Structure 1
Amino acid sequence: MMTWNVTCTYSQFLAQKTPTCCVSLSSFYNETIVPCPTCTCGCQNNATHPGSCVNANSPYLASVVNGPGKNSLTPLVQCTKHMCPIRVHWHVKLNYKEYWRVKVTITNFNYRMNYSQWNLVVQHPNFDNLTQIFSFNYKPLTPYSSINDTAMLWGVKFYNDFLNQAGPLGNVQSELLFRKDKSTFTFEKGWAFPRRIYFNGDNCVMPPPDAYPYLPNTSSHLSFSLFTLLSTCWAVFFVFL
């Protein structure tokens, strides 16, 4: 006789053919806003997604979303370049002497889906120095007690634990305040941005690393400033000759 144990786990790749969420990035030190990669969760007018998106400014939006015979479980997303139901935006907002601040916004682009008791899992090396979180609940995930680089975030009950379907109320957001660790802290090489983000257990697609907002080249600015200063001095010198 033989016995065996079977353990069933959720597979994102078996549950759906395309990703369900993506991540966009921005920062105070760079004007570039890095969007979700194009066609992350499908493409507009694609044979695999016929009629699956609707323009947010369409005058027929209400009739399309709430029309008779519409299955509320059938995704109907807002027409975007990424075509994802969920977008997570990570914005490096402020830089203080001993702290730095991040704003996280979760936006729902699905007109037929509300997310109750949603959760977000974020991997970032500075979570061991998280000082304050303003509008989400927070719990560290530390399978290895010496490493605290993963956090679970979820909404505050009766305040933002319910993520509405696409529309003016279809987003939740919070700010995170981190303390700087002088031995590890830097804004260089994308360090300020998360390594990986999961929404409701699904792995969200990140932008390519070479597209991350980068720090301004201070050396070039310094050279330009010195050149400008010298040019101005020479001009003033010749004017008074």
Structure 2
Amino acid sequence: MDSSGAGAGAASPNPKCCVSLSAFYNNTIVPCPNCSCNCKGLPGAKCHSEENAGSMLQMPHDPLQEPEDLVRCTDHMCPIRVHWHVKQNYKAYWRVKITVTNLNMVRNYSDWSLVVQHPNLQSVQQIFSFNFQPLKIHGFLNDTGMFWGVRYYNEILMQSGVDGNVQTEMLLSKNTSLFTLHEGWAFPRKISFNGDHCVMPPPDDYPRVPNSSTASKLSLPVLVFISLLPIIIFVGPSHFLDYL
């Protein structure tokens, strides 16, 4: 690992990443919590918009030292954002897209790694663009796994810009008698990037599954017809108009 990257060493006491969430069944995109890594306006909270960062990026850096972090101005002020999107729900599988975005304008992350804790990781069927290895951290529970880039393809997470992200999709099999999208089950419990724990949105903010009750989807005329259906059956259709 070269000096331009941030390896998976000891975890930093200060957050360096955050998590945002979305799902196909809800239009809401849950962003990273505000001030996940810092707050704009506080001492030491340096950030720049992409428009005015050009002159900063052209400044010479000492090749023997890591460049000072220069993050894009956001509400969360994190150099790394991980987005978890519940993409599709099939009969026997469900599909997730993971996107890791580098919002650091001056640093590449070489040989990056992502550790995810999710109860369904024991049922991973296919990973499309990352390497994956289950991690049995909790004994008999196989709910944690590590993702990392494919050599010569996406093992380097480039600095902020057009190429400043890596992404994959994965298929997970499901036990149809136990599977549910309710109560945030489809979202990860914990995520770490290069050994740093990422700030998660609070569970109450997770995308909610819309109310799927039949009555909420029926129009008023249909509900009226259903309520009168016993009369139609009892007296016969030829006498139904006498009751209207």
Same topology, TM > 0.5: yes
Give the match for residue 6 of structure 1: none
Which one of the candidate residues 46, 56, 66 is aligned to 1:64? 56
Which one of the candidate residues 204, 207, 217 is aligned to 1:210? 204
Aligned mates of 2:225, 2:176 — CA distance in 1: 38
Which one of the candidate residues 4, 27, 34 is aligned to 1:31? 27
Corresponding residue SS for 2:218:
helix
Aligned mates of 2:57, 2:224 — CA distance in 1: 63
2:219 aligned with 1:223: no
Contact 1:53 1:78 in 2 (8 A): yes
Q: Which has the larger radius of gyration?
A: 2
1:184 CA displacement: 3.0
2:126 aligned with 1:148: no
Aligned mates of 1:170, 1:192 — CA distance in 2: 26
User: Taking structure 1 as reference, are residues 83 and 229 closer, same or farther at Cα in structure 2, changes over 3 Å only?
Assistant: same
1:131 CA displacement: 0.5
Which one of the candidate residues 13, 17, 35 is aligned to 1:21? 17
- Map Cα deviations across residues 8-60 of structure 1 (whole Å, 9 max, x no partner): x83521xxxx31000000000000000000111111122232xx11112x1x4
- Map Cα deviations across residues 189-214 of structure 1 (whole Å, 9 max, x no partner): 00000000000010000000000001
TM-score norm. by structure 2 comes to 0.83
1:70-85 residue pairs with structure 2 within 5 A?
72-85=66-79
2:197 aligned with 1:193: no
Give the match for residue 87 of structure 1: 81
User: Taking structure 1 as reference, are residues 232 and 81 closer, same or farther at Cα in structure 2, changes over 3 Å only?
Assistant: farther
- Map Cα deviations across residues 121-140 of structure 1 (whole Å, 9 max, x no partner): 00000011110000000000
1:231 CA displacement: 6.1
Specify the code of the residue in structure 2 equivalent to 1:33: I
1:182 CA displacement: 2.6
Structure 1 gaps of 5+ residues are: 1-8
TM-score norm. by structure 1 comes to 0.84
Give the match for residue 151 of structure 2: 157
Specify the code of the residue in structure 1 equivalent to 2:12: Q
- Map Cα deviations across residues 122-168 of structure 1 (whole Å, 9 max, x no partner): 00000111100000000000145532100000000000001000111
Give the match for residue 12 of structure 1: 12
Identity, % of aligned pairs? 54
Aligned mates of 1:171, 1:94 — CA distance in 2: 22
Aligned mates of 1:168, 1:228 — CA distance in 2: 52
- Map Cα deviations across residues 42-86 of structure 1 (whole Å, 9 max, x no partner): 11122232xx11112x1x422112224687521100011100000
Contact 2:137 2:144 in 1 (8 A): no
Specify the code of the residue in structure 1 equivalent to 2:59: G
Contact 1:54 1:78 in 2 (8 A): yes
Aligned mates of 1:143, 1:55 — CA distance in 2: 40
Q: Which moved more, 1:39-48 or 1:209-218?
A: 39-48
How many residues get paired? Answer: 220
Specify the code of the residue in structure 2 equivalent to 1:148: N
Aligned mates of 1:211, 1:225 — CA distance in 2: 28
Structure of higher RCO (CA pairs closer than 8 Å, 6+ residues apart): 2
Contact 2:102 2:164 in 1 (8 A): yes
1:232 CA displacement: 8.8
User: Taking structure 1 as reference, are residues 210 and 228 closer, same or farther at Cα in structure 2, changes over 3 Å only?
Assistant: farther
Aligned mates of 2:140, 2:61 — CA distance in 1: 54
Contact 1:72 1:112 in 2 (8 A): no
Aligned mates of 1:177, 1:170 — CA distance in 2: 24
